[in-house]
Structure 1
């Protein structure tokens, strides 16, 4: 996990899609449900240059040391292109990648348009958890951009049901929820 995959991804996307640059490039964990319409709405009026959007962590920390949580974050195309064009970053790949990514941006003077998405991005809160709500974990809410830590089929099913994401779709023969 902490051996360069974030660098590899963000440096590859601008090369792969050089002829068709996008406004933003995002990465997400596979246990995160993104509501793409809500994400598009959140980004709509934000700058499309030098942007860094996601859940700022650690909670309540000095903004000069914060970084976007690995659940998922988005940068503007120019930031991803800068990663691809900055060979020095290849020498700084060991350690927590999302923390490294934040450090790279501070070092390079990039991602100055920082947009924290909390509380619209958060970790799933299950009633059976030892700990209750925190600055990064709370109950599902209607204006959500992303829910993280959907580690099993039941959490996915509850989340998709909450947002009516599967309403009107026929059940897939591949669908199975553990009870």
Structure 2
């Protein structure tokens, strides 16, 4: 990890305590996603109890803006077991899309535990990460509950208001700061409080 990344990761970890550091290469095709999912039960597990520590685990690209409130509301009605959710491809396969796009997808905790212990998954760890995750689940006859949230997660189109959906869960491909700014402004996350003495408009 380059020194500047190490410094920023350390600051994030100290500030929020929410950073997982994994011993793997940063690559979408070299098993990083397998390492992520397979490491979680040992890192976050319930300590030997029967209760699962989380209902779901999500993998999200770092160029995706995620509206957690909208995601949580959507998940209230979703199954808590054997569930795979995200933007399925093909988009209009509502029942059983073969895989969810890598911009962001969820697995129920039982599937994460299965990934951590499956020899087949370990052998098939390499490959394009989103398609490979779908392949594991399909080969293992898992994820019978598939939740396709298309079109509520989508790629950034422009700064125009009509290019953002009202019920958006996520916006992807925010690789430039200006795209992040447009997206955050659209969802009113940059508005300053006009009554503050520190803000002059």
Following superposition of structure 1 onto structure 2, how do residues 69-80 of structure 1 map, counting pairs within 5 Å? 69-80=101-112
TM norm structure 2:
0.74
Alignment match of 1:17 (pick from 38, 44, 49): 44
Q: CA deviation at 1:87?
A: 2.2
Structure 1 residue runs of 4 or more that deviate by more than 3 Å after TM superposition: 58-65
Q: CA deviation at 1:93?
A: 2.2
By percentage of residues, which structure has more helix? 2
Q: Which has the higher contact order (CA 8 A, sep 6+)?
A: 1
Give the structure 2 partner of residue 140 of structure 1: 164
**Greater Cα shift, 116-125 or 58-67:** 58-67
Could you tell me how far apart the structure 2 residues matched to 1:79 and 1:169 are? 43
> Unpaired segments of 5 or more residues in structure 1?
128-137, 171-179
Could you tell me how far apart the structure 2 residues matched to 1:25 and 1:169 are? 34
Q: CA deviation at 1:60?
A: 4.6
> Unpaired segments of 5 or more residues in structure 2?
1-27, 47-51, 195-201
Is 1:122 the counterpart of 2:154? The answer is yes
- Asked whether the 8 Å contact 1:14–1:21 carries over to 2, the reply is no
TM norm structure 1:
0.82
Give the structure 2 partner of residue 175 of structure 1: none
The structure with more radius of gyration: 2
Number of aligned residue pairs: give it. Answer: 161
Could you tell me how far apart the structure 2 residues matched to 1:167 and 1:73 are? 29
